């Protein structure tokens, strides 16, 4: 089975990220395909290199980076949402005349077309986060 994942939860919703990462790990271990995880809205904040989680919580960003590193999963942050949250790659930092990129290693900025592509190719599409406040 092929999965597409959309993550909308901010990094402070660490339980949501832990559950999403655990599902990804279990799906991959069971032989399912998960080529890409797409982060949008507040979920793009997980790709911000400068965030530091509370000392008693694991880093959501590091969990996603490990998933990408260990399993070749693409981590795509929606470029529109990312820019609004201060997540910039080198090109966007230059375009907005900012001193440095803030995109964490292992993440890439991309458009919604990548989410549509992943969803169209998937047998199942799952969303984490995005509930009413």
Domains, the chain, with CATH or none: 3-128 (3.40.1260.10)
Residue 125: count other Cβ atoms within 10 Å of its Cβ: 16
CA distance linking residue 65 with residue 105, whole number of Å: 8
pLDDT at 131: 63
Structure tokens at 115: 């989410």
| Strand ordering across the sheet containing 3-7 | 107-110, 74-78, 36-39, 3-7, 124-128
Bridge partner residues of 46 (DSSP)? none
pLDDT for 133 beyond 70: no
Mean of the per-residue pLDDT values of the chain: 95
Which helix (H) or strand (E) segment holds residue 121: the answer is: helix 112-121
Catalytic member of 20, 48, 78, 88: 78
Taking only the tens place, the pLDDT of each residue in 3-43 is 999 999 999 999 999 999 999 999 999 999 999 999 999 99
C-alpha–C-alpha distance, residues 79 and 111, integer Å: 6
Active site residue 78: yes
- pLDDT tens digits for range 46-70: 999 988 888 888 899 999 999 999 9
């Amino acid at each position: 089975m092929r999965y597409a994942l959309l993550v909308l939860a901010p990094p402070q919703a660490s339980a949501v990220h832990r559950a999403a990462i655990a599902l990804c790990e279990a799906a991959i271990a069971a032989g399912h395909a998960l080529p890409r995880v797409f982060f949008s809205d507040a979920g793009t904040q997980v790709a911000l290199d400068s965030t530091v989680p509370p000392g008693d919580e694991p880093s959501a960003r590091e969990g996603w980076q490990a998933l990408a590193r260990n399993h070749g999963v693409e981590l795509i942050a929606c470029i529109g949402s990312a820019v609004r949250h201060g997540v910039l790659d080198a090109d966007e930092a230059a375009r907005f005349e900012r001193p440095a990129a803030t995109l964490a290693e292992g993440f890439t900025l991309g458009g919604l077309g990548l989410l549509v592509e992943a969803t169209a190719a998937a047998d199942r599409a799952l969303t984490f986060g995005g509930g009413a406040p």
